[in-house]
Each structure stands twice: as C-alpha cells, then as structure tokens.
Chain A
C-alpha cells in the first residue's frame, strides 16, 4: 500500500515511496551523499558515522538529519551540501581522521571534504578502525555472531569475547569484506585463511574445484539451512 511523494533534493524533484529513507532516494537519483557505515547488505543501519547528514526543510522547520535512517513521510526540501552540512561533515571527518589516522579511506575523504583548518586533535596512534560497527552487523547477519562492539564511550572497539580466538567464527570474511576502512586484518593462501587468530581450511568444490570459502563456513551454512554438508559450489549443487 505504498504512497508516492515528490520531494526536492538539491533542487531536483525526486519521486519516492512514503517511508523511504532519504539516502536511498538520493542515491537512486544520482545524488551523492558521503557515508562510511552504510551498506546495502545490512538491512538495519546503525547510523553511527553521521557523515550522511543533510539539511531538511519540512513543515516550516529546517534541521540536520541523518539521511540513512531518515524516512520521508511528507513533502520536503533537502540540501546535501549547505554550509552547515559541509562544516559539520568536515568536523566529523577531522574527528574520524584523528581517531583512525591509519585509515587511507578516511584520509582521502578528509582531503576531499574536510577542512584543513581543523588541526591539533589528539590522535589514536596506530588505529585504523572507526568503530562504525558494520563488521559486527555483518557477523550477526551473514556470519556467526563471533564478535561484538565492546566497552563504551571513548573506549568503544570491536573485539571477540575475552580477546580470545572466537569459537563461533567460521572464517567467512564478511566482517573484513564490509569494513569501509580495511581495518580487519586477515591472511590467506590456497590452503588456509587466518583471521581473528584462528586458522581455517579453504574448501574447494568437489565437482569443479572452485574455492567455496572455508570448510567451517560450508558446514555452518549447511546446518543453518538444515541440509547435509556437501562441498559443492552453487553451480554444481
């Protein structure tokens, strides 16, 4: 029972369904909004990086909202790069850059959209992670809930329980794959994949010989789907 609405983003009329998120509408219409913590594969958006802020005028009120979780319910006018948005976003990038000085992705975005006059911040030396939480969401939805966001406040970080090699981990690599700043290290050769201090045997399709992830992952998926464990790729199944 969807209802169509037309809103304006940066002067461009955009049609959308009532309740659709602003970010998605903008993207569909070719309007770029920067973000770090949003990923199409993860249905629930944590809205933690705040980079996708935009300015919205609606019902006589103008304010900053986070476009990835802002549902459009009525006609509104959206601007993605007003002075206020640019200024706020530049500060957020400076903050992320200070938190994760090792991240090239953040450094590049900061070069493009940041404000060089913001300086003198304390840095978290050696840090690459921006604590966006995407890896944990990926682990929960696509993996085996092996890691979580631990601590709180300024100490927040990603870790497996008790900082030990996480037993439930299946080496599926979804955490590292969705990470927007490549902060999760792993190594692999043709036999073994190493991540989170655990080693996983790489599995190959018994029929065509194609690599099909780790053996632990194949077993996990089979259990999840209530199927027998078969080392076959999707094509050969």
Chain B
C-alpha cells in the first residue's frame, strides 16, 4: 500500500525508508528523535505507508522504553540507574533531580522545559553515579552537584559553559581505553591478553590504514583463499565459543548455517547488550569497528551471505557513528561492496538500531524486531535461527565480541588461539570490571584466569577499609558469586560446575556496604520492566517476586517469604518460555543459596546488616 491522496506531515520521515515492515523500528526511532515522541497521526501514516496495522506499531512504541507516546520536551534529563550507579547512590541523585525540577520520573514539567527519565545504563559505570542532560554527561555526581547543575540549566545558562565549569562533565560520553592508568596496580594492564581489544588504543579506530598497519584484514585475505568448508573448520578448530553468555560453539553455529540449502543467508552482529552494568560490546564497537567488520566478512564468506546487519543498541550513538564510518571506509577501500577485496564476493553491511531493552538481545526477539515486529520471544523447540532466522532465512547471529575475535584466529591460526585459555574455553574474554572494585574499566584476560586474580590482582580488590562480599557476573539474570568461589578459573564449564554462568562480561564487585537482598530486588525490578511479558511464569512470577522483595526490604518480611521465593523461582526456571525467563529467578535463588543468613536476618529480625534497607527504622516503629 502506498500513501494515498492524503498528504502526510510525517512524509519525509517515512519515505526515508522503503515501504516494508522491517523498517518499522527505524522510522519509529527517527520520529522519536525528531518530535520527542511518536505522535498518533504519525503512527497511522506509517501504518498506511508500510501496509501494516497501526496496532502493531503502537505495540512496538509502548513496548520499547526508548519510544514514547507522550511528548518529551525541553531538556531531557536521564538519571543512570545501572548497577554501579545504583550502588553509588543513584536514588539520591534521582530525588535531587525530582526536587530541583519539581517533577517525578517519567514526567515533563508543565512549561515543557524539562523531561526527567531514567535509563539502565548510560555506559559510564566506572565514573558513576551519572546523569545525562540532552547529550552531555555529568559523572561522579553528588546530590548537591546534581541540584547545582540542574539549577544552572533552569537559569538558562549556556550548556557549554556549564559543562566546562563542572568537574566530571563531558560533552559526549567519556570513552574507555584499553589500558587505564592505575599506578598502584600495574597488573590491571600487564595481566591482560589482548586479542579483541588490540585496537582499542588506536589513534583513529575508523581508519583502514591504521587497522591494516597492525595486521588488520590479513585474516580476511587468508579466508578468501579458503573454501567455506575450510573456513568453518578453522573456526571449529579454534574452539571459540559465543561470548554473549551462552557459550555455544561458534564453529557449530556456522556449520549448521553452511549446511542449509536455502538462500539468501544473513549474518547479524549482536551489539545490543542491554544488561545494566555490562559495557563490553559498546567499547569494542567504538574502539575496534574494523575487527567486527572483518569478522563479519569472514563469516559471510563461510556461509555465502551477501548482506550482514549490525544490530546496535539505540543508546550507543558513538558506536553506530564509528561503525558506519568504518563501514564507509571499508567500502571505499574495496574491502566491502560488490567485490570483497577483489574476490568477486559481494558483501554489504548495514547498521540497524535496536530498541535496547534486555529482551531485544534474545535470539527470537531480536529477529522478530528486525523484521519490524514486536521484540517478543517465540516458543520453538525445533526451529533454529541457523535454519529459520532473519526473514525466515538461514542466519548466523554472533555477539560483537565473538566476531571481533575471528580476524585474530585467521591471522594467527586456530592452533595459536587454542593455545590461549583452557581446554573448554579457548581464547580470551573481555570483562567490564566495576561496582566497588578499586580499578575499574574494560579489560581482556585469557580464559583460565581465576576470578580472584581478576578482582584482586587486576581490580585491586575493594577500597581500603572495606571487605569484599560478592561478585555479580554478567547481567541481571546471572548468579551471584560468593568469596569461596573466587578461585574458580574463568571458563564456561569451570563456572557452570560451580553453578554459575559466565554471563556477558559484566563484573560488578560488591563489598560489605551492599545488601544482597536489596541487590536481588534491584535485578528483579529491572527484569519486571525489561521482560517481554509474554508468558505467565516470567510476567506474573516477577510481579510476585518484586512484591515479596519490596516487603522484605521495607522490613515487612513474613515467615514463609523465602520459601515462597524459592518455590516461585523453581517454577519460573522450569516453565518460562525463553532463556531470559528461565534465568530470571537466578539473582534471587543464587543469592539465597550463598547468603542465606543475610536473607533470614531481613525476614526474621527485620535487620539489614549493610544498612541499605529501611528494615530497621520500620521495625523499631513496630511494623510487623
């Protein structure tokens, strides 16, 4: 269906894309950027243009937190509610902002001059607590500092002056370097082994010349001399496993897709990490865009794909900018395009903005979203994305970090890659160390490094005068790691043997100031807001867990609450539709396993040993 005689106000935004449903999300995001919301009329017009129901588009708009049906006007103030900012007092920052602006979270002031919202997370973990005002970042904030900054905005001062005169303020998001300057702990740098992050120190990460000067695109050259079969065999021999968390052997995935007869085939780079406190793919996409492009080109050769997509989280503006510039440079250099390095193989890569929610990274939800539909998980026991993936075609979906490691394998050889790491987990893993760690930032270690080495030798432990309590690997649905497991070598199987998951690369360190119960509550509330809400156990189980946890943290815990949480958690794990739902109870179940005393104190004595929960105040007041 094409737009009829009715002239659309929103025409230029719609017609920037072909009239196919797969462009629904890109147009909606453009409309949001341009108008501060997705107007009802624009939704109607877009439905006419794409030939899809307005109800479908409205469903997407209300599903994704980055889209809004209500106008957000004026300065958009975003308080970071990521894990580290949460630990460092984001609630006080939020309250200060609410007081200064006279509005609550999610509201726009009456005169339309400010909109207040929160986001998990802004990707400034090492510098938090943080707040973003329009495009500017204010880090290491105190409530007073936040109030001062907002008052200056209210007075109409020039934002550039405010940024220039505020310590910890940046015009755009501060980037991470591969080597941080922690003088007291040289180990942060020396213990790293850089396969993926090799390019992070590049002067110009977008430059093809600079990338090639360090061996870039040599791997692709080698792959061009190989058959698809040999390429896949090389990946299999390297032993590399998916770095997004699940650890599925990458070679097997490529082999399955290679074996599929249907054409065309697609390749997707998953760069939509939506976990709070996990900031791994972001820096890789910003700092090593050519490594991802090269990895994708090798994957495309392996399966015979001519089109690849980079699915990048909406909030990662810098990553998109750099990836696009690197893609353009690669096209210019003849590395991508109608003939990859003169080989006659065709390959085009396109960036697709994701909605950025946690569920958006789940395979079936991701592919549904890329097809212009709701990012809901789909129940399927037999259909795999390597067979029926994007647009129902055979598709490889790899995490950005996985793809960025592929060029190294082809340059140095599978055997060299295998020589790094452990038998079951070869190569390296990138982590983002944050929370209470003395040294924070992005680092890359060979598999087999112990958690203790990561936290204490590289991370410098926790601040003087404090004591280590627990480690939260990966995202909100991963397990809590207590002190006694710190000598476990980092590896998929090694961690699984201890009942914990590798996760996607977040490593949040907690010390005695942090409450395990409150932390579980934080993660459950995150999941309540991020789950797709499709199946009963995830949607309703999280609702009840959240209510019980709120009660416990408010000093109103009842006998039987812990048992009920366990029972709920077991049923969610047993019966939820997708991997997110099946692991949604992990933050509660694993924390209760390792820190049972602390949980019981909350319920039995209404006491929070970390002094985080309001238990004590309330129980003194006589609350049951």
Residues in A lying within 8 Å of B, measured CB to CB: 45-51, 53, 64-66, 69-71, 73, 84, 87-88, 91-92, 95-96, 98-99, 118, 120-122, 130-131, 133, 136, 139-140, 145-156, 160-162, 164, 166-168
Question: Binary interface profile of B, 51-65, with partner A (CB < 8 Å = 1, else 0)?
Answer: 001111111001110
A154 to B58, CA, bound (A): 18
Inter-chain contacts of B54 with A (CB < 8 A): 161, 167-168
Chain B residue with Cβ nearest A95: B540
Distance of A69 Cα from B364 Cα, bound (Å): 15
Q: Which residues of B contact A146 (CB under 8 A)?
A: 53, 55
* Cβ–Cβ contact A92 & B536, under 8 A: yes
- Shortest CB–CB separation between residue A194 and chain B, in angstroms? 19
Task: Report B-chain residues with C-beta under 8 Å of the C-beta of A49.
Answer: 535-536
Q: Are A152 and B533 in contact (CB under 8 A)?
A: yes
Shortest distance between the CB of A21 and any CB in chain B (Å): 10
The residue that A122 contacts in the complex, of B43, B544, B575, with Cβ under 8 A, is B544
Residues of B at the A interface (CB closer than 8 Å) are 40, 43, 53-59, 62-64, 69, 357, 359, 374, 376, 379-382, 527-537, 539-544, 546-547, 558, 560, 564, 567-568, 571, 574-577
Asked if B536 and A46 sit within 8 Å, CB to CB, the answer is no
Chain B hits for A160, CB < 8 A: 55
Contacts of A130 in B (CB 8 A): 536
Residue of B nearest to A100 (CB): B540
Contacts A50-B577, A66-B575 supplied; 8 other A-B pairs, CB < 8 Å: A46-B379, A46-B534, A47-B535, A48-B577, A98-B540, A152-B529, A153-B539, A154-B528
- A-B pair number, CB within 8 angstroms: 151
Closest to A93 in B: B536
Task: Given A95-B544, A98-B544, answer yes or no on A71-B532 (Cβ-Cβ < 8 Å).
Answer: no
> With A64-B574, A162-B69 in contact, is A71–B534 under 8 Å at CB?
no
A53 touches B532 (CB 8 A): no
* Complex Cα gap A118–B548 (Å): 13
Main secondary structure of the interface of B (DSSP, over half): helix
Q: Which residues of A contact B535 (CB under 8 A)?
A: 47-50
Q: How far is the CB of B216 from chain A (nearest CB, A)?
A: 40
Output the least CB separation between B368 and chain A (Å).
Answer: 13
The verdict on A50 contacting B55 (CB below 8 Å), with A150-B62, A152-B357, A152-B532 known, is no
Instruction: Determine whether the beta carbon of B381 is less than 8 Å from that of A120.
Output: no
Knowing A99-B540, A162-B58 are in contact, say whether A153-B533 is a contact too (CB < 8 A).
yes
Look across to chain B and name the residue whose beta carbon is closest to the beta carbon of A97: B540
Q: Which 8 A-B pairs have the closest CB atoms?
A: A156-B533, A145-B53, A161-B58, A95-B540, A47-B379, A148-B59, A148-B55, A91-B571
CA distance A155 to B65 in the complex (A): 12
Q: With A150-B62, A161-B43 given, is the CB distance from A95 to B55 under 8 Å?
A: no
A214 to chain B, nearest CB (A): 19
| Sampled A-B contacts (10; CB under 8 Å) | A48-B535, A65-B381, A66-B575, A91-B537, A150-B58, A153-B531, A154-B528, A161-B43, A161-B55, A162-B40
Min distance, Cβ B227 to any Cβ of chain A, angstroms: 32
With a cutoff of 8 Å between Cβ atoms, the chain A residues found around residue B40 in the complex are 161-162, 164
Given known pairs A145-B56, A161-B40, the reply for A153 and B577 (CB within 8 Å) is: no
Known contacts A146-B55, A151-B533; A131 and B539 CB within 8 A of each other: yes
Instruction: State A97–B256 Cα separation when bound (angstroms).
Output: 43
Residues in chain A near residue B530, CB distance under 8 A? 152-153
Chain B residue contacts of A88, Cβ below 8 A: 571, 574-575
A84 CA / B575 CA spacing, docked (Å): 11
Taking CB atoms, residues of chain B closer than 8 Å to A73 are: 382
What distance in Å separates the Cβ of B360 from its nearest Cβ neighbour in chain A?
Answer: 10
Once the chains are docked, how many angstroms separate the CA of A151 from the CA of B375? 11
Do the beta carbons of A69 and B380 come within 8 Å of each other? yes
